[in-house]
A and B are shown apart, each in its own frame.
Chain A
Amino acid sequence: MNGVERRKNLQRFSILATFSVLILIVFVISMNTGFSRLSPLEVFQTLFGMGNEKQQLILFEFRLPRIVISLLAGAGLAVSGCIMQGISRNALADPSILGISHGAGLMVVLYLSFFPTHLDVPVLFLPVLAFIGSLLAAALVFGLSYQKYEGLLPTRLVLTGVAVAAGLSALMTVLSLRLSRELYQFVAVWLAGSIWGTTWDYVLALLPWIVVLFAFVYYKALVLDVLSFGNNVATGLGASVSKEQVKLLAAAAGLAAACVSVSGGIGFIGLIGPHLARRLIGPNHKYLLPASALAGALLLLTADTIGRTILQPSEIHAGIVVAIIGAPYFLYLLARSNH
């Protein structure tokens, strides 16, 4: 008995370690790619404080913050998706079901259509606006899917989410038709999921959300396990199903909203990250949550790095790279779930 347990733990540990090593490799590659090339040796020298001023500027002020944002946002989106999938018992659920990125997008577009000349705002103004927009959208989806007698029913949540997202996105399209070309361009880039916050300010704004919400969600790992048995079994085991669902969905919404507001509308990470992790490490959230975070971080950093390299000197937005990989994966999932 114990032998089997030990072997399993070893297996889990090696999966987490492999993810970490892969992230490290992509990190080094990413540090090396960009408009001005530095050799790996120069990168290492600079990282350990032995580079010249120009090298330091490139690495520490341009590349590193962007890499850190990609890692944080990727991890956050994947953990958010992991929560959504656990609670809804649906492998196709992800934060977009809560209308997160549509809410954020709509809020930004609303602001720009009423104050079209005010793009010169303090750095964190637009992310904060986007954050508020996403939370409002999530609250709307909750509100519409909550039922008095039965509480939160996963299927209803998914359907409401799809409807709300479609509505918000239609509204956004109508509004953005009235924007000037430049502003429209700006919005389009944001929606495509360019990692737009690329300074340390954004890292500092995102980090506390990630740390606090990760800690909370990880503390709830066992509850998430129990909720993934469905409402009946979970209640029978003594979980306060409605309360826990609301708390965890709020955490999922908060995570996704914080990420999307600095990374733009990046889809699929919240779907693929946790799904990949679940296939490798199993349904136990104590291991699944960290594995999802690592998978999400790896995916988004890789996507952003590819996007920056492939068409140099111009770049493809990370969100588009993710979608190019994500869409076929999504179809594959759909095909599989038909059996």
Chain B
Amino acid sequence: MIVTENLDIAYDQTLIVKQLNVEIPPHKITALVGANGSGKSTILKTMARLMKPKSGHVLLDGKAIHRLKTKEVAKQLAILPQNPTAPEGMTVIDLVTYGRFPHQRGFGSLTQKDKEVILWAIEATGMEEFAYRPVDQLSGGQRQRAWIAMALAQETPILFLDEPTTFLDMAHQLEVLNLLEELHEKEQRTIVMVVHDLNHASRYAHHMIAIKKGTVVKAGTPMEVMQPDIIEEVFGIQCDIIQDPRTGLPLCLPYAISRSQKEPVIV
């Protein structure tokens, strides 16, 4: 269970996130949505202790995450940051192997269990045929899947992913999302992901948090968050919300940019 208490987050002196209080429901999939630059990645990184907040706390099971031993946290929580880069020449299988780092000591020889998890993560992301290819020579989508495999290899009950579906084609987007859903269903993992596609958020997440300029506009079920007025406030677009005939979940069909969001017209 992760809770934030009055988080203020800043880069140098500019305050990006003000007085943030969110709860990540355990054993559920949570989607963070918001416009570019609204602070989603900043919030995700701070909740995963990659950044220190200016003030306030992030509590993991009631304890301040920034005070816990980072290696112990890494056994609980894996995070895939936005746009990670691997050293030149590192192969996919090596990359995924480093996902076992929190479970290793010293020189890090691999146990049978480690090897099984690594193979499973590579298979689950469909990366078998690229296992021995250098990561820097893969396509954007293949690379993204390699990094997801690394996060999976960490085998943590909590999984944070910053835009796991960017660079992926439609089939691979669904594949990754289905995989996350399966991890949630089979192993009750807690998953927090930043996604830009609201319909993916609605279809896969149980809980949505809509962020604007570093503050929460609305948090709740997709039904509660996917409202035309909320979406207009968060994204500055006008949309119709219809019901997905297959799942009954809300779907967002944008039709216009709100007037205030448009570039000012100079005559």
* Residues of chain B within 8 A of A221, CB atoms compared: 107
Known: A222-B104, A232-B45, A236-B50. A278 touches B99 (CB 8 A): no
Contact of B101 among A230, A231, A232, A238 (CB under 8 A): A238
**Contact, CB under 8 Å: A226 / B88:** no
Contact residues of B: prevailing secondary structure: loop
Give B86-136 interface residues, CB cut-off 8 Å to A: 86-90, 94, 98-99, 101-102, 104, 106-108, 131-132
Is A283 an interface position by the 8 A CB rule? yes
Q: Which residue of A lies closest to B107 (CB)?
A: A222
A229 to B97 Cα, complex, angstroms = 13
What range describes how many residues of B lie at the interface?
Answer: 20 to 34
**Which one of B27-35, B69-77, B215-223, B256-264 is at the A interface?**
B69-77
Is A25 an interface position by the 8 A CB rule? no
Is B79 an interface position by the 8 A CB rule? yes
Is A225 an interface position by the 8 A CB rule? yes
Is B85 an interface position by the 8 A CB rule? yes
Q: How many A-B residue pairs have CB under 8 A?
A: 72
Size of A's binding interface in residues, CB under 8 A: 26
Nearest Cβ on chain B to A291's Cβ, whole angstroms: 13
A152 to B107 Cα, complex, angstroms = 25
**Contact, CB under 8 Å: A236 / B89:** no
Contact of B99 among A222, A237, A240 (CB under 8 A): A237
**Contact, CB under 8 Å: A237 / B81:** no
**Contact, CB under 8 Å: B90 / A236:** no
* Residues of chain A within 8 A of B90, CB atoms compared: 282-284
**Contact, CB under 8 Å: B89 / A226:** no
* Residues of chain A within 8 A of B78, CB atoms compared: 236
Give A1-49 interface residues, CB cut-off 8 Å to B: 1, 4
Is B154 an interface position by the 8 A CB rule? yes
Is A329 an interface position by the 8 A CB rule? no
* Residues of chain A within 8 A of B88, CB atoms compared: 278, 283
Q: Which residue of B lies closest to A238 (CB)?
A: B74
**Contact, CB under 8 Å: A229 / B70:** no
Is B143 an interface position by the 8 A CB rule? no
Is A235 an interface position by the 8 A CB rule? yes
A254 to B146 Cα, complex, angstroms = 37
* Residues of chain B within 8 A of A282, CB atoms compared: 89-90
Known: A232-B45, A232-B50. A237 touches B87 (CB 8 A): no
Is B148 an interface position by the 8 A CB rule? no
Known: A235-B50, A236-B81. A225 touches B98 (CB 8 A): yes
Q: Which residue of A lies closest to B71 (CB)?
A: A238
**Contact, CB under 8 Å: B107 / A235:** no
Is A239 an interface position by the 8 A CB rule? yes
A230 to B107 Cα, complex, angstroms = 20
* Residues of chain B within 8 A of A1, CB atoms compared: 131
Is A332 an interface position by the 8 A CB rule? no
Is A50 an interface position by the 8 A CB rule? no
**Contact, CB under 8 Å: A89 / B48:** no
Known: A4-B132, A238-B73. A219 touches B89 (CB 8 A): no
Is B49 an interface position by the 8 A CB rule? yes
Chain B 5-18 interface mask (CB, 8 Å, partner A; 1/0): 00000000000000
**Contact, CB under 8 Å: B102 / A238:** yes
Known: A89-B87, A228-B87, A229-B86. A236 touches B106 (CB 8 A): no
10 nearest A-B pairs in the assembled complex, by CB-CB distance: A238-B74, A238-B71, A283-B87, A238-B102, A236-B79, A232-B81, A222-B108, A237-B101, A228-B87, A282-B89
Sample of 18 further A-B pairs with CB below 8 A, known A226-B98, A235-B50? A1-B131, A219-B106, A222-B108, A226-B101, A229-B84, A229-B98, A232-B79, A236-B50, A236-B81, A237-B74, A237-B98, A238-B70, A238-B71, A239-B71, A240-B70, A283-B87, A283-B89, A283-B90
A-B residue pairs in contact (CB < 8 Å), sample of 18: A1-B131, A4-B132, A89-B85, A149-B52, A222-B107, A229-B86, A232-B81, A235-B50, A235-B70, A236-B48, A236-B74, A236-B78, A237-B102, A238-B102, A240-B70, A278-B89, A283-B88, A286-B107
Residues of A whose CB lies within 8 Å of any CB of B are 1, 4, 89, 149, 219, 221-222, 225-226, 228-233, 235-240, 278, 282-284, 286
Residues of B whose CB lies within 8 Å of any CB of A are 45, 48-50, 52, 70-75, 78-81, 84-90, 94, 98-99, 101-102, 104, 106-108, 131-132, 154
